[in-house]
Chain A
Amino acid sequence: MAMDDRTIIAILFHWAIAILLAPLFVGIISKTKAILAAKVGPSLFQPYYDIVKLFQKGVVYSRTTTWIFRVAPVIVLAVMLVLALMIPFGIVKAPIRFAGDIFLIAYLLGMARFFIIAAALDTGYSMEGMGASREAFFSCLAELALFMNFVTLAFKTKSLSLSSMIGADAPVRWEVFGPSLFLVVISLFIVILAENCRIPVDDPDTHLELTMVHEVMILDHSGPDLAYMLYASAMKLFLFMNILVPIITPIYSHDAVVGVIVFLAMLVGIAVTIGIVESSMARLRLNRVGNLLLIAFVLAFFGFVVALWKTI
């Protein structure tokens, strides 16, 4: 793949969008939750303030930790920044796309996970170990569901590149694959909730270490390290939402203004939906989370069966 000027411009454009927009949607989710709970809630831009504030703070390292603990935030954020180049934003195709990019996306996420878990175990504290153990377990099932969705989408579009699989270059034909796509969308939505540690899998606002998953793993990070971690998780949420966006985009317009409005509206819509889900239900008991993820898998699997049945 040659790196011509257009590719470089597209890369910079994608980075600009991901870096600038990502924390906003965390803000939108918490604003939605606050409004539904009849509170004023923090500003939409609170996540940005948090990150800026953390960059100005000092870093404290435990004597138990090794270099893994210091490297992990860098790797996790770098993975998310690279993934931002491989995921289409709305109907704008990803600047880097090739047959098989879905495997690289899945395994780069694995790389981030490896280091975040290793960093948690590096602190030598039981609560972080618990969070790491849960993360390792849930991600096994979430990965299964994610791959099942990839299989279904790839089978339908006969493509191995994420951009064409989810319809960033041509609209996904709902009238042909309607029922199957419907199942895929629900399944992907559950995967988004699980991978980004949202209710009902994990509660990002909890204050009890014993029950946390993602938050407890980054408990010992401070200052810029924590800023990296928070930025990375905001970006992960943004990227996962962007996997869903092209599938459900109703209007394909070549008019730039309409495109941008539709794109932002879809993202805000997903974020608000996540906020509503979070407000309307409690988190599941930890031993029930596995079943939720299996439901996501089974939905995607039935999506595949429906697609298969249509082709025979």
Chain B
Amino acid sequence: MEDMDSILRFPWHVPFGELFLKLDPLNALFLAAVAVLVACSSVYGIGYMRQYKGRKPLYVHVFFYVLLAASFVTVLLANNAILFLCAWETMSISTYFLIVFNDERSAARKAGFLYFIVAHSGTFCLFLMFLLMAQVSGTMNFDVISNTKFSSGLSGIIFILALMGFGVKAGFLPGHFWLPHAHPEAPSHVSALLSGIAIKTGIYGICRVLYILGVLPVWCGYLVLFIGVIAGLMGVLYALGQHELKKLLAYHSIENIGIITIGLGLGLIGKSCNQPYVSVLGFSGALFHVINHALFKGLLFLDAGAVIQRTKTGEIDRLGGVAKIMPLVSVLFLVGALSICGIPLFNGFMSEFLIYLGLFNGLFCLSLNGVVSCVIAILALALMGALALACFTKVYGSVFLGIPRETFPPQERPSSKLMLAPMMILAGICIWIGIAPWTVAHFTFCGGEYLSRIPSSTDHFSYVMGSLPAVIMVLIIFIAVASFLAFMKYRVSRGTLVTGRATWNCGYPVDSPKFQYTSSSFASSIVEYFKSVLFFKRHGERIDGYFPRHMTMHSGVKDFFEDSVFRPMFAKAVHLSRAVDKKNILFTQMYLMYIFIFLIFLMLWKLRG
């Protein structure tokens, strides 16, 4: 992989800036995910945006879409902090314009604004971080900074800033609250990019910083691991309580970011404890999951978009039986759902397998703290897996299977091949990685070794890959057995098949969607069990008497950080600035004077020093 270190350098007349692009094993992986997903969502977008033709200025959308794609590539390749920050800001701004595409909806405007604020508060931390780095090393070039020795305290501070700045982009709790607003409001091919790539740029940023810093204090690894555990568990629990398809998927992105972060944390712990296997397994598992998540989450968002376009609603409890009108879309969604649940034969399992392998190896060779952290992470991953399965059986069962809960609106246009083809490609890659994981695992492995700064060795690779052929052999046996059983069933039941009867309803011959279990009821047993962390709310009347009146009830899961932390905090901030505004600042001139006074203060301060 060393020969892949390709460099492109041009001078740039910005202080400390340089047009310096560099390809290394780390960003090559992210770049691969960008290439595949951007290509697929673009083609999908052509089909999807046809519904807006003539009603909205699409060229604005296309402009920012292309800008976003270009800024992804630049963010990943930039080897200079100024260039990185420019691309980073371009990415945030173009994302904003893509989110507010449906700007006649106030929810979309609010989601965009929220994203804007969050993205910029994150960038503020990044400015501080790069300034600190530049102060020590005297340059903004990543290559030079990465050869600089930082004191352990300073590298800790830099890392915390990176976690804050990149963390809000990646969707770490509690900086995640923009995600469930922005993802559902954006057009579906943009949601796919947001969830598949945009939040991964946050992960990429953290990877880059930890590569640059080289040696980090031990507590950083534990911190990252626990951030991952909390983000993962809360993400999937919140997802279970959602009623809206794309919002649910958005919360699931937080869960998957949690899994990736657990891998990164394990890598860091392994690195600081000098356990190369653990470190490489953790990092490469995390990078593998980055790619896998981009693929299956992209697929799921594109699929959800197709469903919403056809049925005109994303409310899970108003859908049902979609598989009958959209058979192909439902199969593709199933592939995505099985991948995200980590079911063997699909790609999600392979990355989780590597992370589990790393965590269990950590159990054997780490110190007491490491062992306890690994146990917590293993349990969190296991619980996440089971909860994700509950969540996706809920989605798949309620949306695609069963009886339609409402009659579908008439089809406006036949579903576009431009929308189906990209989904099929993504689903194909998901299965391909699930059956032949070494094709991609090799590259993620190089990335993992690069991140842990361990010289590449076939020793590590063969150790990990030793298990993969056995996994594949089991899967081949599984396919053979399943086809044999299917054939046998076909032979046995061929003559005696009776179809078209009603489901057995305890003897009541009523075929009504009202008998069907809703997705909210399906999730309620789990949601209520975890209600101490989830803030499950129910508004409305309770049924009483033998002949209940017509009544309404609303239940849902409140996002604790959004409703109890940030909303009051923002309200306080608005209140405070209003108060200041009323008392003192009446004219624009006054603002200018304040700025002037502040400048003078700064100059005096500088003179004094």
Asked whether any CB of chain A lies closer than 8 Å to the CB of B338, the reply is: yes
Q: How far is the CB of A263 from chain B (nearest CB, A)?
A: 24
Nearest chain B CB to A19 CB, angstrom units: 11
Task: Determine if A100 is an interface residue (Cβ-Cβ < 8 Å).
Answer: yes
Please report the total number of B residues contacting A with Cβ < 8 Å: 84
Cβ-defined contact, A86 with B517, below 8 A? no
The reply to whether B349 and A137 contact each other, CB–CB distance below 8 Å, is no
**Contact pattern, A 71-95, Cβ under 8 Å of B = 1, otherwise 0:** 1011101110110011000000000
| Chain B residues, Cβ within 8 Å of A58 | 493, 496-498
> Nearest B residue to A119 by beta-carbon distance?
B401
In chain B between 461 and 513, which residues have their CB closer than 8 angstroms to a CB of chain A? Answer: 466-467, 469-471, 473-474, 477-478, 481-482, 485-486, 489, 492-493, 496-506, 511, 513
Given A124-B513, A127-B506: A136 touches B389 (CB 8 Å cut-off):
yes
Cβ contact within 8 Å between B485 and A133: no
CA distance A202 to B368 in the complex (A): 39
If A98-B466, A125-B503, A219-B504 touch, whether A78 touches B481 (CB-CB below 8 Å) is yes
Q: A100-B353, A104-B471, A147-B379 are in contact. Are A59 and B496 (CB under 8 A)?
A: yes
User: Which residues of B from 432 to 471 have beta carbons under 8 Å from A?
Assistant: 466-467, 469-471
A185 CB → nearest B CB, Å: 20
Known contacts A63-B500, A96-B474, A121-B393; A137 and B401 CB within 8 A of each other: no
Please give the distance in Å from B472's CB to the nearest CB on chain A. 9
Residues from chain B with Cβ under 8 Å of A122 in the complex: 397, 401-402
Are A63 and B501 closer than 8 Å at their CB atoms? Answer: yes
Given contacts A57-B496, A133-B524, contact A118 B485 (CB under 8 A): no
Range of interface residues on A (Cβ < 8 Å): 35 or more
Q: Do B517 and A133 touch across chains, with their CB atoms under 8 A apart?
A: yes
Contact present for B522 and A61 (CB under 8 Å)? no
Q: Quick one: which of A11, A68, A139, A146 has the most chain B CB within 10 A?
A: A68
* Chain B binder among A171-179, A220-228, A242-250: A220-228
Chain A nearest CB from B294 CB (Å) reads 21
Q: Taking CB as reference atom, which chain A residue is nearest B403?
A: A124
Q: Which of A118, A143, A223 interacts with B493 by CB under 8 Å?
A: A223
Partner of B324, one of A11, A66, A160: A66
A140 part of interface (Cβ distance < 8 Å): yes
A256 interfacial by beta-carbon distance below 8 Å: no
Report which residue of A73, A108, A147, A148 has the largest number of chain B beta carbons within 10 angstroms of its beta carbon. Answer: A147
Evaluate whether A160 and B357 lie within 8 angstroms (CB atoms) in the complex, with A74-B485, A132-B397, A228-B485 already known. yes
Which chain A positions have C-beta within 8 A of B529? 137, 290
Which residues from 199 to 231 on chain A have a C-beta closer than 8 Å to any C-beta of chain B?
A: 209, 219-220, 223-225, 228
Whether B522 pairs with A129 at a CB distance below 8 angstroms is: yes
Give the complex CA separation of A146 and B529 in angstroms: 19
Q: Taking A118-B393, A140-B387 as given, write out 18 further A-B residue pairs in contact, using a Cβ cutoff of 8 Å, ordered by the A residue number.
A: A60-B501, A61-B497, A78-B485, A103-B356, A104-B344, A108-B478, A110-B386, A117-B393, A124-B516, A126-B515, A129-B517, A134-B525, A140-B390, A147-B378, A147-B382, A151-B360, A160-B361, A224-B493
9 pairs of A and B residues whose beta carbons are closest in the complex: A129-B517, A121-B397, A58-B496, A124-B402, A136-B390, A78-B482, A147-B382, A98-B470, A140-B386
Q: Which A residues have a C-beta under 8 Å from some C-beta of B?
A: 1, 3, 11, 55, 57-66, 68, 71, 73-75, 77-79, 81-82, 85-86, 96, 98-101, 103-104, 106-108, 110-111, 113-114, 117-118, 120-130, 132-134, 136-137, 139-140, 143-144, 146-148, 151, 154-155, 158, 160, 209, 219-220, 223-225, 228, 290, 304, 308, 312
